[in-house]
Amino acid sequence: MMDKFYHDPVELQDIKARNKNGTRLYETPDGNFYPSVTTVLSIRNKQGLHEWRKRVGDDVANYIARTSAARGTAVHHMCEDFLNNKDMEKHKEKFLAYCLFGQLEKKVLHRINNIRAQECGLYSDKYRLAGRVDCVAEFDNKLSIIDFKTSSKERNDEWNENYYIQASAYAEMFEERTGIEINQICILVVTSDGVVQEFVKDKKDYVPLIEQAVLQWETKNEKSKMVDNDIFGVPV
């Protein structure tokens, strides 16, 4: 198969993930432990999640969460393999996920090129955060943080603030690690009925919210005494 996508990878040091007291942490090459971006942002929508679980019941909520996570993971793997110019035949057995991937392929993936990184670990000593970014590449010829999302229904822009903060945090981490500035963030969504949405933003509108979210998370955990020193960047 002829390569479709050009890769110009940057060299990044790996980070190791682990769970401690139910919190997802990443160990940096310097031996610090930072929470994932998704962990930090999770407290921003806990009330809405709690109300939803109460409304539908724990059994239904758990089933929806499991199936949604499995579908999302499968679509992510398909996007990653496709952008890596790999044979996609093995993915066809996951019929629904493959159909959703097919919509992304048809409508937006061809606008990605000059890929710098995929599914790579990033961290920031400035923000005391870490995580794994889906894709760093050009989208419509502009270097971007690209995040693939699946959703049960079409999303309104105002629902996506956590997504924008997350992608902006990855942009800041990438610059801290490589010296390469990224201003554009792209959230590419495919719904369970195959609708593709793209949300393209400038990170400058969300960078101030990164530190705010970190401080909110650290303050909450300090008060509840649920974490120990290693979560705040101190080696264990």
pLDDT 10s per residue in the chain (236 long)?
445 899 999 999 989 998 887 788 999 999 999 999 999 998 876 545 555 455 657 665 554 556 667 788 999 999 999 999 999 999 999 999 999 999 999 999 999 999 999 999 999 999 999 999 999 999 999 999 999 999 989 999 999 999 999 999 999 999 999 999 999 999 999 999 999 999 999 999 999 999 999 999 998 877 555 445 555 554 43
Q: What's the pLDDT score for residue 49?
A: 55
138 lies in a domain? yes
183 neighbors 168 (Cβ within 8 angstroms)? no
Q: What's the pLDDT score for residue 62?
A: 58
125 lies in a domain? yes
230 lies in a domain? no
Q: Is 195 left (phi over 0), alpha (psi -120 to 50) or beta?
A: beta
The sheet carrying 196-202 orders its strands as: 112-124, 129-139, 142-151, 184-191, 196-202
165 lies in a domain? yes
Specify the CATH number for the domain of residue 187: 3.90.320
Q: What's the pLDDT score for residue 236?
A: 39
Q: What's the pLDDT score for residue 234?
A: 47
Four-residue CA torsion sign, 177, 179, 180, 182: positive
5 lies in a domain? no
Q: What's the pLDDT score for residue 140?
A: 97
77 lies in a domain? yes
CA distances from 78 to 86, 90, 162 (A): 9, 10, 24
Helix, strand or coil, per DSSP, at residue 59 = helix
Alpha-carbon 116 to chain mean position: 16
232 lies in a domain? no
12 lies in a domain? no
The domain total for the chain is 1
CA distance 221 to 94: 39
Task: Tell me the residue type at 128.
Answer: R
Whole-structure pTM value: 0.88
Task: Tell me the residue type at 127.
Answer: Y
For residue 87, give its domain range. 24-224
